Amino acid sequence: MMRFMLKSKLHMATVTDKNMAYEGSIEIDEELMKAVDLKENEKVLVADVNNGERFETYVIKGKPNSGVIALNGAAARLVEKGDKVIIMSFGLFADGEYKGPKVAILDEKNHIAQMKKESSCC
């Protein structure tokens, strides 16, 4: 059986910028993308901890080690600079192949404070 499971998560990222005059997406620091295995153009679910908004968009690569988490296009209307967001990506896994998500817990400057280890849960 195939299951849709959490693959990647950036927890408590701080929105650094927003730009409504852009075609749309979320720009993420390239090093953060690598840490949790996010790829450019990958679909993500974003949850804004401050206002409860949840929306989908796609990832674009930001400057490495910049700490950038910027919402563009229509999604920019759903957040404010300084908001805390959770960025999640999901994947389809066969029973027995899922090893758990790659999770990075971020500090106030969007640096990795802690990496959660993958678990062999299923």
pLDDT, tens digit, for every residue of 69-94?
Answer: 999 999 999 999 999 999 999 999 99
15: left (phi over 0), alpha (psi -120 to 50) or beta: beta
Predicted pLDDT of residue 106: 98
Active site residue 25: yes
Number of domains in the chain: 1
* Mean pLDDT over the full length of the chain: 95
Active site residue 98: no
Residue 48 within a domain:
yes
Residue 15 within a domain:
yes
Catalytic residue among 25, 89, 119, 120: 25
Q: Is the pTM of this model over 0.85?
A: yes
Phi, psi (degrees; rounded to nearest 5) at 84: -95, 130
Residue 121 within a domain:
no
Residue 77 within a domain:
yes
Residue 84 within a domain:
yes
CATH code, 74: 2.40.40.20
CA pair distance 30, 52, nearest whole angstrom: 26
Predicted pLDDT of residue 24: 78
Residue 95 within a domain:
yes
Predicted pLDDT of residue 93: 96
CA pair distance 93, 7, nearest whole angstrom: 9
The residue segments making up the domain with residue 50 are 2-116
Catalytic residue among 58, 89, 119, 120: 58
Q: What is the mean pLDDT of residues 10-27?
A: 94
Residue 122 within a domain:
no
Predicted pLDDT of residue 31: 98
Cβ neighbours around 51 below 10 Å, total? 10
CA pair distance 18, 4, nearest whole angstrom: 30
Q: Which helix (H) or strand (E) holds 33?
A: helix 30-35
Residue 97 within a domain:
yes
